[in-house]
Amino acid sequence: MQHLKLIITQAQQNIFFLLMVAGISLVIYCVSYGAQVLIDNKSNTIRCTTLGATISTRRMAAIGMFSAISVILMYFEFPLPFLAPGFYKLDFSEIPVLICGFAFGPAAGVIVELLKVILHILLKGTSTAFVGDFANFAVGCSFIVPATIVYYWKKTKNHAILGCVLGTLTITVFGTIFNALYLLPQFSKLFGLPLDQIIAQGSAIFNGVTNLTTFVIFCVAPLNLLKGLLVSIAVMIIYKPISRILHQKM
């Protein structure tokens, strides 16, 4: 009970930020859903739409299941001290999100990504006044949305590979820029930690890190690239057998 009260208090204190996040989340969902509808119309295909009138109870259950698995995987995060400072951690929570997006379309992927973050906040709370949680959602969507749109356009192995490659590139580029322009300055302000101290942690790993730009290039970009590659490889290996099970039941 005390845990929930703390979350409510933090939400009240950051209401305008949360409203902004809600607006951005809605835009991302609309873009993914719009792409899904556009592809359906272009291919003259009628499919069950996520959050639409024709969505089945089983599909809703699948979305809930993948969200729960993603939350569990978030707890198994680990640092890569040879690559980035300890406050950056790698997890594989995007694997269920990408599988769901491949199976049911980009809109479903965005919903799972959002539910994952919300459930994680409810279970664990937030230590970053929702800033880190929003970053997790935004960076995750930068990978999931492009990858699932490409695969939804044409569900072939080549398009799955192409989608994963595009998703890996976008999470690398977007994550790097997002850290430089928003996330790191916000963390610096939130924790009263000068950016120079953050950059110094990067310099201890790579001699080439001398400023914020080189920090995100040497530390953040490789981490996001590695995450995109590992998630992509895992999904390419396990998606087909899971897909057959899902579509037998849908």
Low-confidence ranges of the chain (pLDDT < 50): 52-54
Name, in order, each residue with C-beta under 8 angstroms of 91's C-beta and a sequence gap of 6 or more.
Answer: 73, 74, 76, 77, 78
Neighbours of 11 (CB within 10 A): 15
Give the pTM: 0.91
In degrees rounded to 5, what are phi and psi of residue 34?
Answer: -60, -40
The pLDDT tens digits for 43-90 are 765 555 555 444 577 788 999 999 999 999 999 999 999 999 999 999
| Containing structural domain, residue 155 | 2-249
The pLDDT tens digits for 93-108 are 999 999 999 999 999 9
Question: What domain count does the chain have?
Answer: 1
CATH code of 127's domain: 1.10.1760.20
